[in-house]
Amino acid sequence: MTGRLTIALDAMGGDHAPGAVLRGANLALRRHPNVNYLVYGRSEDVEPLLRKLKRLRRAVEFVHTDEVVGSDVKPSVALRTGRKSSMRLAIEAVKGNLAKAVVSSGNTGALMAMAKLALRTLPGVDRPAIASFFPTQRGESVMLDLGANVICDSDNLVQFSVMGTAFARSVLGLPAPSFGLLNVGTEEMKGNEALQEAAAILRTTNLAGQFHGFVEGDDIAKGTVDVVVTDGFTGNVALKTAEGTVKLYTEFLRATFRHSLLASLGYLLAKPAMRKLRARVDPRRYNGAVFLGLNGIAVKSHGGSDALGFAHAIGLAVDLARHGFIETMREDFVSLAAARDGTAPRVAAS
């Protein structure tokens, strides 16, 4: 996809809205100057900021709404009462083809419920999944599901594999990404019935990728595979564990360098290297989780994200739209259905 692209923004979602949203959009224009924004929010909060961000103002079409979905609102309540909210209107812009993607830092449950209702799922998808990418020893990898589906059967895991490989091809530029099922061991006899059945299907169904088999928890950071597939319960635990570990080691490093004068001098010598390390593991670089399986692009930015993090979430949405992610995923599900029905020959991944 070339030319100008329109992204819908929920200006009122997140802990630091609308400031982080608008400043993030302004930062994103540096990398994506051919992007326009449809911004939804309260005029009294948004307009003063837009007047200060003159470059952004030229790229924005602003739509006022008084309604906002709170961070603690239940999804069912948001569906009933938030039809004119900034979140819902931004999603509806994608449904109406006014925008190619929606980005919000708002309530995750409400965003998923609204997006699923408005955009629907693609043919062949039973449940949407949440995916994001992580730094590894080999570069970056994709992981899903990160919390949308606590209990999954074998068909869900197979569908997640299709979604994840399509995501990796679009975002990471991998023509045939490797993927594996997260398990308690790599041996073929390990795992519950759903994992065993999913592995059996994936071994005989050729997707646009390379099925590695089972992977373990330590394989996530190693980058053993490009796409790690698991249920939402395990994926969310793994995600929060990784985030907690990064914070733990950050505090350990700070305490170590503050321990003595000699350690502080050591920090001064190591400062350039530490700056590179900080940039490599900065969670803002990996901000932006995607609701995969929907008939439209919906990106969830972290609720506490600052402007830089939100800019990266916008960048993710732009990359997915530019690379025809929805069309790619739709084609992959058609191929999966044909292969499982035995109506089409297996085609080697390209």
CA dist 19 to 14, 40, 52, 158, Å? 10, 13, 11, 40
**pLDDT at position 90:** 97
Give the three-class secondary structure for 182. Answer: strand
Per-residue pLDDT for 350 more than 70?
Answer: no
Q: How many distinct structural domains can be found in the chain?
A: 2
Confidence of residue 347 (pLDDT cuts 50, 70, 90): very low
**Shared domain check, 198 and 305:** no
> Is the model's pLDDT at 343 over the cut of 60?
no
Confidence of residue 250 (pLDDT cuts 50, 70, 90): confident
Residues 248 and 184 both lie in one domain: yes
Assess whether pLDDT exceeds 60 at residue 1: no
pTM score of the predicted model: 0.87
Cβ atoms of 294 and 128 closer than 8 Å: yes
Instruction: Express each pLDDT in 154-198 by its tens digit.
Output: 999 999 999 999 999 988 889 999 999 999 998 888 889 999 999
Give the domain CATH number at 281.
3.40.718.10
Same domain, residue pair 284 and 299? no
Q: Is residue 347 part of a domain?
A: no
Alpha helices, H only, 213-284: 218-222, 232-257, 261-281
Percent of the chain that is helix, strand, coil (3-state, to 5): 50, 20, 30
- Going by pLDDT thresholds of 50, 70 and 90, the confidence category of residue 2 is low
pLDDT interval class at 341 (50, 70, 90)? confident
**Average pLDDT, whole number, for the chain?**
89
- Full domain range(s) for residue 113: 1-122+294-323
From residue 174, alpha-carbon distances to 141, 142, 163, 165, 236 in Å are: 11, 11, 14, 9, 25
